[in-house]
Amino acid sequence: MNKLQFTFTVRNITDVKTNVLCITAIGTLNAQVYAVPDEYQPVTFHKEIVKLAAFNKVKNSLTRRHQTRKVWINVTEELAKIYLDEGENLQIGDFYLEEITDKPEDKPQTTNVSEQPLIKMLEKLLGKNQEQSEIKNIGNVAKQFIIEKFNGKNLAKQFIIE
């Protein structure tokens, strides 16, 4: 591997008021992303990354909490010793990183068999309500809200009651 994508994030790890720059994930060229464990996330554990010019640019661009930057960094021999083993598996020290997968086949379906009849009933009800609202004539609705002028020939009591 000649490049790795590091995800830098400003987080609060120690307390609520302190912002800490962290490496939260590491990506590879073949679009695999690996999560960095919480105890290895602060950049103080990544001394070789801190020495790079790209890190200084990232540090200057991240000012507020929860901001994130993804940066591709060329893997040198020193970085390869820290982040890759002999089989080019991602690691930090002696700890292998866990791959993050966001494939739709891994996610369970949200609709159960028991929920399907309920969904159909709700769709029918909503469909009928929409049809009924479309059937009403706009002219009839407008007549209900218009008050005829009082012309003096009709009685005032009848005008008020109607």
What are the extents of the domains in the chain?
3-102, 115-161
Whether 138 has a pLDDT exceeding 80, the answer reads no
Confidence of residue 131 (pLDDT cuts 50, 70, 90): low
Cα–Cα distance measured from residue 80 to residue 11, given in angstroms and rounded to the nearest whole number: 26
Residue 22: count of CB within 10 angstroms of its CB: 23
Stronger pLDDT, 156 or 117, i.e. the higher one: 117
Is residue 114 within 8 A of residue 41, CB to CB? The reply is no
Cα–Cα distance measured from residue 120 to residue 142, given in angstroms and rounded to the nearest whole number: 35
Q: Which two tokens stand for residue 9?
A: 């994030």
pTM: 0.60
- Element (DSSP H or E) covering residue 26: strand 20-27
How confident is the prediction for the chain on average, in pLDDT?
A: 81
